[in-house]
Structure formats: C-alpha cells, structure tokens
Amino acid sequence: MIIGVDASRAVKVAKTGTEHYSWELLKELVQLPSEHTFRLYAPHLPKNPFPEERCEWRVIPERRLWSQIALAKEIKSDPPDVLFVPSHVIPLLTNVPSVVTIHDVAYKYYPKAYSSFDRRYLEFTTGISISKAKKVIVPTQATANDIQKYYKAETEKITVIPHGYNSDVFKPLPKSGSPYQYPYIFFVGRIETKKNVLRLIEAFALLSKQEKTLHLVLAGKPGLGSEDVTARIQSLAEEVKQKIHLIGYIDDHDVARHLAHAKAFVFPSLYEGFGIPILEAMAVGCPVVCSSTPALVEIAKDVATVLPPDNSLSWAAAVQRIIDNPELAANMSEKGIKRASEYSWKKSAEKTLEILNNVAA
C-alpha cells in the first residue's frame, strides 16, 4: 500500500523535539521490512541523507497554513491508502484514514507560554486531529491521560508508543575533550517560560555561593519569555552573571559532548509530553535532575533526581549532592545508561507501522 506521511517537520534543518521525532522515526519506519511505498510530503527535500528505497517525495511549496491547504489539496488529488501525521495536524478537508501523533497539550497547562494565535491554532487543530484520526499515538501515559481529560478521546483510539533517541550519537563518550576549562551543569531546550529557565538561574545563583568555580551552560533557541531570562541574568551579581552562558542552538553531536562532560543535566521544565533531552542525557551517562511533571517521571523512574519545579533551594541542593558525592554520580550514570537502552527509534517505528497496517486494513 501507499503510506502518506506529513514530513514537513522532519526536513527542518534546526530540529527541536517534534522535528527530531519526525526525522528519526521516519528514517527507521521506511527501513523496516515491508512492501509498502512511503509517500513523503514536504515543502522541500531533506538537507541530510535519507534512505531512498521505497520512498517517494512529493515537494509542495511552502505557504501559510501548509497542512490545511497545500497538503490537503495534494492528498485529495492523489490519495494514499493511509496518512500518518507525526505532529498534531491532520488536514481538515481529507477523508483518508489517518493516524496522528499528539506530543503534548502544554498550551492547556501554561497558556501564557504561547502567543494567542498559536494557542488558538493548537486548540483547534488538536481537537480536529483527535476527532478525525482512526488512531492517536502519544509518547507517554501522561499525554494519553491529558487528551482523554481535555478532548474526551476514546481509550481504544489511543496507543502509547514511547520515543527513542539517536544511539549512534548519544552514548558513553571519552572523558577527554571537554568543551570548557571549568566544571559546569548543562541544560538544553528552548530558552522560554515553559522550560522554567528562570527557576534554574535562581537555583544556580544559590549553588554558586558554595561552588565558586561551577558554571551554568544553557543551550537552545530563544522562545517566548527568553527576554526575561536575559534580563534576569543581567540583574545578577557580576561574579554569578559571568558564569552563565547562553550558547544558542547546537547540533546533536555537540549536545552529546556537552552532556559527557557536565556534572549534571538539569531540566526543570514545567510540562513535557515526553522529554527526549533527559533520555539523551541518561544514554550518555550524565546524572539527571528533572522536574516531577508526570511524563518525565515515567521516563526517569528511579534513575534521576526528580523534584517539584518551583523550589530553587531544593534544585541547588540536589546538584550539590551530585557534585559532593562521586559514588552517587557514578550510580546515577550507570542506571541512566541501562534505562536509556530500553528505548529506541526502531521499537517506536515497529509499533507505529503496526498501527498504520491496522488502520489501512
């Protein structure tokens, strides 16, 4: 059969969560043993190498409301047997049997972290997508609970398929070649309100009173509220301010290198649908301190230090314990590597293909 896929997020060059999911999952999906053809719809071809066998690219030029207008028109003129949308938005005007992945409903919990347009758009398209889909894939039981709560989705329509991670990149690395000459803790994600970066800066300011040589490295593109983060850093005492580094977006290889040499990976996010960054950190062997949002708890279990996201002092104390106790850090590293090995994009792809086969049958 022909499996149509919205690959618009997969082909983006600077990838964050949903783009990584789309890219990594599709690479595995098209390489699984099957007789299907994958018709990949995107505004342009991918910049990086992508498996060619059984793949047919349909390039649809970029335009506003690409999914709802351009993609819908293409699917109507030449429909696939089933449509897979890896991120939220099934075209409203399509009757092709569809499967959609809903990653989270963060806009329900933290509406102020989104522009009014983005919030309304997400509300509308998520509701439509859940309603139209034959099956809805979610990465955690926490997200399944959320879409049942807010959208009254039927239990039998939902399947939990955890994400994976790039095990060729995120793995234990040599301890030589640190990116910095000083000890540091590391964060990667959008620099935005929802990621709770302001709280992390407060925790670091407390921690730096004891750990005079420790630095905080923040990697990621700016998001809504990033100007507040910059202003907060500038308001700190000079000896603290000069030890906080906003390094912008970095690629996976650079993220892995930063994780390999960090004292801890700190992820105080207020809400996540899954949390690929903590999985990547565990795979490298970096001790993880993360917030107690339900999806992160599902992944972290007894491997990470899990804390409420609103207490700066407890975050500072948790990192201090890891720095002061090499045995604890080594134990967290060992457990993290073992825990990460339970996840893979191949497993995710196999379960996704099973869903697509069932929907198209």
Query: Residue-wise pLDDT tens for the chain (361 aa)?
Result: 999 999 999 998 877 778 989 999 999 999 999 999 999 999 999 998 898 888 999 999 988 889 889 999 999 999 999 999 998 799 988 899 999 999 999 899 888 878 888 889 899 989 999 999 999 999 999 999 999 999 999 999 999 999 999 999 999 998 888 999 999 999 999 998 889 999 999 999 999 999 999 999 999 999 888 999 999 999 999 999 999 999 999 999 999 999 999 999 999 999 999 999 999 999 999 999 999 999 999 999 889 999 999 999 999 999 999 999 999 999 999 999 999 999 999 999 999 999 999 998 7
Residue owning tokens 């004292």: 263
pLDDT score for 62:
83
Fold (topology level) of 2-164+344-360? Rossmann fold (3.40.50)
pLDDT score for 18:
87
Output the 3-class SS for 234-261: HHCCHHHHCCEEEEECCCHHHHHHHHHH
pLDDT score for 29:
95
**Both tokens of residue 36?**
């299907």
**Both tokens of residue 115?**
């522009």
Tell me: the pLDDT tens digits for 268-311? 999 999 999 999 999 999 999 999 999 999 999 889 999 999 99
CA distance 26 to 67: 18
Considering the domain delimited by 184-340, tell me its CATH architecture: 3-Layer(aba) Sandwich (3.40)
pLDDT score for 52:
84
Which residues have CB under 8 Å from 190's CB, separation 6+? Answer: 16, 220, 221, 222, 223, 226
CA distance 276 to 43: 26
Q: H helices then E strands: how many in the chain? A: 14, 13
Output the 3-class SS for 83-112: EEECCCCCCCCCCCCEEEECCCCHHHHCHH
pLDDT score for 113:
75
Residue owning tokens 């000079």: 238
Domain ranges of the chain: 2-164+344-360, 184-340
CA distance 338 to 250: 26
Domains 2-164+344-360 and 184-340 share a fold: yes
Angle at 215 between CA 214 and CA 218, to 5 degrees: 150
What percent of the residues of the chain are helix, what percent strand, and what percent coil, each to the nearest 5? 45, 15, 40
**Overall residue count recorded for the chain in this entry:** 361
> Within 13 Å, how many C-alpha atoms sit on residue 348's CB side?
24
**Both tokens of residue 260?**
């390999």
